[in-house]
A and B are shown apart, each in its own frame.
Chain A
Amino acid sequence: MRLLQSDDQRDLASAVRAFLAETSPIGRVREIAESDAGHDPRVWERMAGELGLAGLAIPEEHGGSGAGRGELAAVLEELGAALTPSPLLGAVIAADLLLASGDSAAAKDLLPGIAAGTTLAVGVLPVPGDPEITASGGTLTGVAPRVPHGLDADLIIVPAGGELYAVRGADAARTALTTLDLTRPQARVEFAATPARHVGTADVDRALDLASVALAAEQLGGLRRCLDAIVEYAKLRVQFGRYVGSFQGVKHRLADMHCVLEQAEAVVRYATWAADEDPGELPVAAALAQSYLGRAYFRVARDHLLLHGGIGFTWEHDAHLYYKRAKTDELLLGAPRRHRERLAAHLDLLP
């Protein structure tokens, strides 16, 4: 079990960090968030083209670079830290669903565009309680109630009745949702006898495991950025004639948040390692990653907002952006109880 990043992974992370600092600073994030655009197409184009991020975890035979989940996690940590409105996570889910489908013809047709970033694909992972989508005669009917970047997508990869389908985004009826987190837009996507290409079987469990690990990496990046921000502030802000970080009431909470960060990082490294190296261990590692990171990021984001005091409640301050992203991420793949239930099953705790 390897729990340390490689030098290459660290180099990749710093390249992405530098790229995002240049192209997607927080002011630009806010502009995109408050506009109708779900993401910045120029940033996406450069991310996919110059940096090759869209195809990072896609095998070389399908136009990607065939890197591991560890490389992908390094990238997603940076996107999570920068709050970049980016369709990358959805594209990763789409590619993972396609790769697990066993349909090599569809993979050959669809993956090169996804890897190049020229086809913006999103994968749909239903949450328990979502309405059924049914397939009939080359069409789909039903509703995917919340699809991140669903409005931007050229291609929607969607499971229905245990099989997998690919639908052109433009063929579905899409309505933008009002989201708590403006940096991660979502859409209701409705299929009404919408033409759909059948793409083998839907291995939703594997795609959910991989998505759980990928999302956990984003959450780790956000968590670390929140802690950095509030530690920095606690060193500058003076009240009662003292830096607020010198009060034990503040210092001890920051220390506890740091303990959470240390453990969150270990969990993400472990889950990423399992995704790359140990398929047998992936399910429990993935369920652990979401059960731990979801709560961890939200609590750290919440406390980092609260410890800023009143300024943290203002629109102009960035704290609320992280708070909202953290809550959204915690629920993105299902409520915490879903991940805990999966974890309980893998730990043989179910009666």
Chain B
Amino acid sequence: MTELDDYTGRARAWLDGATADLPADPDLAAARAFMARLYDAGYSGITWPAAYGGQGLSAAEERAFQQASRDHPLPVGVFGIGLGMCGPTLLSIGTEEQKLRYVRPLLRGEEIWCQMFSEPGAGSDVASLQTRAVRREDGTWVINGQKVWTSVARQADYGLLIARTDPDVPKHQGITMFIVDLHHPGVTVRPLRDMTGESHFNEIFFDDVEVAPDHVVGEVNGGWSAAVTTLLHERVSIGMGGTRTERPASFAALSRTARERGLLADPAVRERLLDLYLQERPFDLLNAKLSQEVKAGVQPGARGSVVKLLLAELTLDSADIAGEILGPDAVAHGEGGGKIAGALAWGPGMALGGGTNEIMRNIIGDRVLGLPREPAVDRGVPFRELKVGTQAKEAGK
């Protein structure tokens, strides 16, 4: 038995105990309490540096824990943005003080984080954002503007925000990243009801929100490269997270249903199931391969966009194929049903959140294949002169 086997065994035993008394549908307090137990047991931030509250272990232990937890649905979703994106960003470009102050509470679930990049006028073109941060004479930054598509904003204590700090330079050069306290009275969070009928995301309004100078992350006006770092983490986190839970329209689930309903005698059904398998299995194998690469010290970088794109297509296509298998039952159901209808309604979100499929293809082309960039009409033009968001409307008046 290797040390890693020991580790996995201990993790599994701990998980069995810690998840035994979890409520069926844990509320925020229960999720926080669980996160604290997870941290105290040494299973939060497994690969993060010990100096900031992590365990300082290798990707092998991280993977072992992921595998051990596969059969235990953990109530950690609300911490996902912090763990997957904000934390890693702070670790890579935050100041020593920021890391010492924020990383440990993030890992322990004491402070929940969100990420505030997108705006109504800045979707795919995030760098055209209009939220302003102006520096007062005492050095304090004052933020005004609006963000959108923010997950967990209602629960969050802090968020990473990017704002325009210099409108007189080209758009990428005048952006700064800040740590913002969501409890500031100038912050208003409004749930955004999406096409699933639920509110997975929020709009956030900033009205004279003050941020101390030591809450700048990275360089002033260097926020774009900071944001790119965060977004890389986001795509890897979305794409590679896609194999952790069973998808409702998975090959395994749909072929089980087809068998139960006696549909496998129909060659058209078998063909669609094979199509699904040939889309799902290579994706899962690629994910497994990327995990092994990470373990061997090779980071996926922009290749996170490959798995993000493939997961989006798989999510949309598998829900589509489910319709072929289930017929009208896929879209009309009684009590306890609705998984496929849910997958159909959620699918577009997967293909839009974290960057659209078209943006993923741009990133793969530009950053993985090294293709020449699209000529940009706004390159080198000061932000103030661009047609973006409401600025375009004002310019057109």
Contact = CB atoms under 8 A, between A and B. Distances in A.
Interface stretch (A68-76, A145-153, A242-250, A318-326): A242-250
Contacts of B274: 291, 340, 343-344, 347, 349
B285 A258 contact: no
A211 B271 CA distance: 24
B332 interface: no
B136 to A, nearest CB: 43
A291 B277 CA distance: 10
A1 B277 contact: no
Interface string A234-262: 11000000110111100110111011001
Interface in B334-390: 358, 360-362, 364-366, 368-375
Contact of B285 (A235, A246, A263): A263
Given A292-B278, A349-B264, A248 B362 contact: yes
Contacts of B296: 4
A267 B270 contact: no
A27 interface: no
Contacts of A235: 370-372
Contacts of B281: 267, 288
B282 A343 contact: no
Contacts of A288: 277-278, 281-282
Interface residues of B, number: 38
B318 to A, nearest CB: 15
A152 B270 CA distance: 41
A347 B288 contact: no
B303 interface: yes
A4 B298 CA distance: 11
Binding site secondary structure of chain A: helix
A246 B282 contact: no
Given A235-B371, A245-B371, A248-B374, A266 B273 contact: no
Contact of A292 (B282, B306, B364, B365): B282
Nearest to A288: B281
Contact of B358 (A252, A348, A351): A252
Contacts, number: 118
B310 interface: yes
A4 B282 CA distance: 15
B216 interface: no
A261 to B, nearest CB: 9
B151 to A, nearest CB: 26
Contacts of A251: 361-362, 365-366, 371, 374
B278 A243 contact: no
Contacts of B273: 344, 347, 349
A2 B362 CA distance: 31
Interface string A118-141: 000000000000000000000000
A89 to B, nearest CB: 23
A256 B288 CA distance: 20
A294 B100 CA distance: 53
A144 interface: no
A266 B371 contact: no
B361 A252 contact: yes
Interface in A204-249: 231, 234-235, 242-243, 245-248
A254 B365 CA distance: 7
Given A255-B360, A255-B364, A258-B364, A266 B286 contact: yes
Nearest to B262: A351
Nearest to B305: A255
Interface string B309-320: 110000000000
Interface string A259-293: 10011111101100000000000000000100110
A245 B372 contact: yes
B281 to A, nearest CB: 6
A339 to B, nearest CB: 10
B285 A266 contact: yes
Nearest to B279: A263
B293 interface: yes
Interface centre among A231, A263, A264, A291 (most CB of B within 10 A): A263
Contact of A266 (B282, B309, B358): B282
B371 A264 contact: no
A267 B282 contact: yes
B371 A3 contact: no
A270 B284 CA distance: 11
B365 A245 contact: yes
A105 interface: no
Contact of A2 (B292, B309, B360, B369): B292
A311 B19 CA distance: 63
A243 B372 contact: yes
A99 B145 CA distance: 72
B278 A3 contact: no
Interface centre among B362, B364, B371 (most CB of A within 10 A): B371
A235 B270 CA distance: 42
A1 B361 contact: no
B32 to A, nearest CB: 36
Contacts of A248: 358, 361-362, 374
A264 B278 CA distance: 11
Contacts of B310: 259, 263
A160 B105 CA distance: 71
Contacts of A343: 274, 277-278
Contacts of A3: 285, 288-289, 292
A262 B303 contact: yes
Interface string A327-340: 00000000000001
B178 interface: no
Given A251-B362, A255-B369, A349-B264, 5 more contacts: A243-B371, A245-B371, A252-B358, A255-B362, A343-B277
9 contacts: A3-B288, A235-B370, A255-B369, A266-B286, A270-B285, A340-B274, A344-B273, A349-B273, A350-B270
Smallest CB-CB A-B distances: 4 pairs: A263-B282, A251-B365, A255-B364, A245-B371
Interface of B: 255, 264-265, 270-271, 273-274, 277-278, 281-283, 285-286, 288-289, 292-293, 296, 303, 306, 309-310, 358, 360-362, 364-366, 368-375
